[in-house]
C-alpha cells in the first residue's frame, strides 16, 4: 500500500458565501494529495509528463461529511491500496480537519495517455518499478 | 422530470497544461446547470438562501469520457428524475460539446440546511410546490 | 476604438465567505471580455494560438468600487482605445452590475509570443488587418 | 517594515494551456502571502473577521516578468513598508521561483469594513498595536 499525508491551509478564495470550502475545490486538494503520493515512487508527476505520458482523470467521486472553513489546516490522506497492473491508477482519499474530524472521503481513477499517439497506454516498466517497495 | 440545458463557454483559465478543461472545473459547470434547473421551479437558488435555507452538496461523482477544450461551447444537461420527498435533492448530469459528443456524466446530491439552527431540514412546502408541474 | 460588452452570471463558487465575488475572479471575467473583443477582429484567440502565437498577460490592474454578489449578472465592457502598433495589446475594462452600478475598472496588457522560438514578436500582418475597421 | 516569506507549490489546476500559472491565480498567492504577513501582528485574518471586521481589496496590480510552471515552488515575499494610519492597508509583493528568478511584482490595497454597519472604518486600537514592533 502507498499512503501519503499532505497538509493544506484553506485559502480565502476557496470559501464560498456559505463560509464553507466550495465543494469543487477538493478536486485540487486531492490532486495535491496524489502528487505527493506519487513522489514516494521516486519520480514526480511532472517527470512523468516530461517522459511523454499524460494522466487524465476518468472518474472522481467524493462524499462530504463535514465542511471545512477558512484558514483550517486540512490533512489529505491519499491511499493507493492495490498495485496497478494494467491501464489505471486508483487513489482513495480521506480529508481531516485539525481536530481530526473526517471531512470527506473520495476516489480518483486516472489513465495513462501516450502524448505522442494521444492513445491510452499501459504503465511502462520504469513506472511499474516505482511500486515495488510498496506492494 | 425536470430537465434544463445550459450553455457554457470554456474560459482560458479553466484549462490546464494538458490543454483540457481541468477535471475540477466541472463542479462549477454542474452548479451552473442545477441553478438553471432550479429556476424552472419558480424561484432561484439565491432566493432559497434568502429564505434561510442553505443547500450544501453531500455527494458528487463524475465520469469523464472525453476532454473539453478552450473556447468550446459546452452544453450541460441537468436532470431531476424523481420528485424529492425527504431531505435530499438529486441531480443527474450529461455534458456535451458543440458537435454533440458526450464529455461526461455525473450526479450531485444536496441536502437542505436551516441557517438558523445549522441543522438539516425537510424540503418546506413552498419549495415542494415548485415540483408540482414536473412530477 | 474597439468596444465589446459581455454578460457573465456570477457562479456560487466564485463568491467568498464575505459573500462577495472573490477579488481574483475578475481576472477570468476580464479574460472573457477580451476574448469577445477579439472575436470582432474576425478571428478568435483560439485561432491566434493555432497560428503559433501565445498572448501572455504582462500587466494587470484593477480598482474595486463595489462588490458583486452571487447570481448577479455582470456586464464586462472591454475597450481597446488605441490601435496597437508594436508588441503590445492594451485592454481597458469597466464592470457593471444589473442596475448599472460601476463595480470596477481595470487594465490588462498582453504581449505576443512566438510559440516556435518562445520569444516576443510583433503583431503579424494578418492580425493587424483585423484592426483596420476600428481605427 | 513587515516582511513575510511564504512558499507555495504550484498545483496542476493552476496552470493553463500555455503551461503557465494562469495570470489570475496570483491573486490567491498574494492573499496567502498577506495572511502570513498578518500572523506576525499576533492575530490572524480569521480573528479579524471574528471581531467584526471585513477587509475587502480595493486595488490590485501586478506586473508579470516570467511565468511559473507546474510543480514549481514559488516564494511570495510580502511587504508592508509603511505603518497604516487611517483606513487602508497596503501590501507590496515579489514572487520568485526556486532558482531565485523574479516572477512578478505587485501591490494590494485593502480597506476595513465594519460588518455591523457595512461601512468603512478606521483601524481599531487592538489592530494598531500589532504594528508597534515593526514600525
Within a domain: A105: yes
Within a domain: B117: yes
Within a domain: B93: yes
Give the chain A residue nearest B118 (alpha carbons): A18
Shortest CB distance from B17 goes to which of D19, D23, D25? D19
**CB atoms < 10 A from the CB of C20, how many?**
21
- Mean pLDDT (chain C) is 96
Chain B residues touching residue D72 (CB < 8 angstroms): none
Alpha-carbon dihedral of residues D16, B22, A55, B107, nearest 10 degrees?
180
Q: CA distances (Å), C113 to each of A110, C83, C121, D101, in order?
A: 33, 19, 6, 20
Which one, of B15, B100, B54, D7, lies nearest residue C49 by Cα? B15
At D74 the pLDDT is 98
Catalytic residues of B: 16
pLDDT surpassing 90 at residue C51: yes
Within a domain: D134: no
User: Contact C28/B11, CB-based, under 8 Å?
Assistant: yes
Q: Residue C119 — pLDDT band, cuts 50, 70, 90?
A: very high
Neighbours of chain D (3+ CB pairs under 8 A): A, B, C
pLDDT tens-digit series, residues C23-48: 999 999 999 999 999 999 999 999 99
Domain assignment of residue D38, given as a range: 2-129
pLDDT tens-digit series, residues A68-125: 999 999 999 999 999 998 899 999 999 999 999 999 999 999 999 999 999 999 999 9
Within a domain: A134: no
Q: Residue D122 — pLDDT band, cuts 50, 70, 90?
A: very high
Q: How many CB pairs under 8 A join A and B?
A: 58
Which one, of B111, D126, D77, B49, lies nearest residue A64 by Cα? B111
Q: Residue A65 — pLDDT band, cuts 50, 70, 90?
A: very high
Predicted ipTM > 0.85: yes
User: Contact C12/A16, CB-based, under 8 Å?
Assistant: yes
Residue range D67-93: average pLDDT? Answer: 96
CATH number, residue C117: 3.10.129.10
Shortest CB distance from B64 goes to which of A31, A54, A58? A58
pLDDT surpassing 90 at residue D97: yes
Shortest CB distance from A70 goes to which of C17, C19, C24? C17
Rounded-to-integer distance, Cα A97 and Cα D51, Å: 23
Q: Residue C86 — pLDDT band, cuts 50, 70, 90?
A: confident
Grid cell, residue B98, equals 458543440
Backbone angles phi, psi at C20, to 5 degrees: -95, 160
At D86 the pLDDT is 86
Which pTM was predicted?
0.96
pLDDT surpassing 90 at residue C81: yes
Residue range C78-82: average pLDDT? Answer: 97
Residue B70 Cα, gap to closest chain A Cα (Å): 16
Q: Going residue by residue through chain B, which has 135 residues, state the pLDDT in tens, using 9 for 90 and above.
A: 999 999 999 999 999 999 999 999 999 999 999 999 999 999 999 999 999 999 999 999 999 999 999 999 999 999 999 999 889 999 999 999 999 999 999 999 999 999 999 999 999 999 999 999 999
Give me the DSSP letters along A97-108: -TT--EEEEEEE
Grid cell, residue A15, equals 470559501
Query: How many C-alpha atoms does A100 have within 13 Å on its Cβ side?
Result: 0
Within a domain: C56: yes
**Backbone dihedral region of C42: left (phi > 0), alpha (psi from -120 to 50 degrees) or beta?**
left
Please count the structural domains in chain C.
Answer: 1
pLDDT surpassing 90 at residue C1: yes
At B54 the pLDDT is 96
B100 touches chain D (CB under 8 A): no
- Mean pLDDT (chain A) is 96
* pLDDT > 90: percent of chain C: 98
User: Contact B62/A60, CB-based, under 8 Å?
Assistant: yes
- Mean pLDDT (chain D) is 96
pLDDT surpassing 90 at residue C85: no
Q: Tell me which residue has cell 494587470.
A: C60
pLDDT tens-digit series, residues B28-46: 999 999 999 999 999 999 9
Q: Which of residues 6-35 of D touch B (CB under 8 A)?
A: 12-13, 15-19, 22-25
User: Contact D17/B16, CB-based, under 8 Å?
Assistant: yes
Within a domain: C135: no
B56 touches chain D (CB under 8 A): no
Backbone angles phi, psi at C56, to 5 degrees: -70, 150
At A98 the pLDDT is 98
Amino acid at each position: 500500500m502507498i499512503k501519503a499525508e499532505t497538509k493544506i491551509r484553506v485559502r480565502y478564495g476557496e470559501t464560498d458565501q456559505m463560509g464553507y470550502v466550495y465543494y469543487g475545490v477538493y478536486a485540487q486538494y486531492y490532486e495535491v494529495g496524489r502528487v505527493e503520493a506519487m513522489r514516494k515512487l521516486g519520480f514526480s508527476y511532472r517527470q512523468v509528463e516530461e517522459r511523454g505520458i499524460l494522466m487524465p482523470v476518468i472518474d472522481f467521486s467524493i462524499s462530504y461529511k463535514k465542511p471545512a472553513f477558512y484558514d483550517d489546516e486540512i490533512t489529505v490522506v491519499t491511499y493507493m491500496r492495490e498495485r496497478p497492473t494494467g491501464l489505471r491508477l486508483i487513489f482513495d482519499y480521506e480529508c481531516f480537519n485539525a481536530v481530526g474530524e473526517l471531512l470527506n472521503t473520495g476516489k480518483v481513477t486516472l489513465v495513462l495517455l501516450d502524448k505522442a499517439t494521444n492513445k491510452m497506454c499501459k504503465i511502462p516498466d520504469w513506472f511499474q518499478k516505482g511500486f515495488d517497495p510498496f506492494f
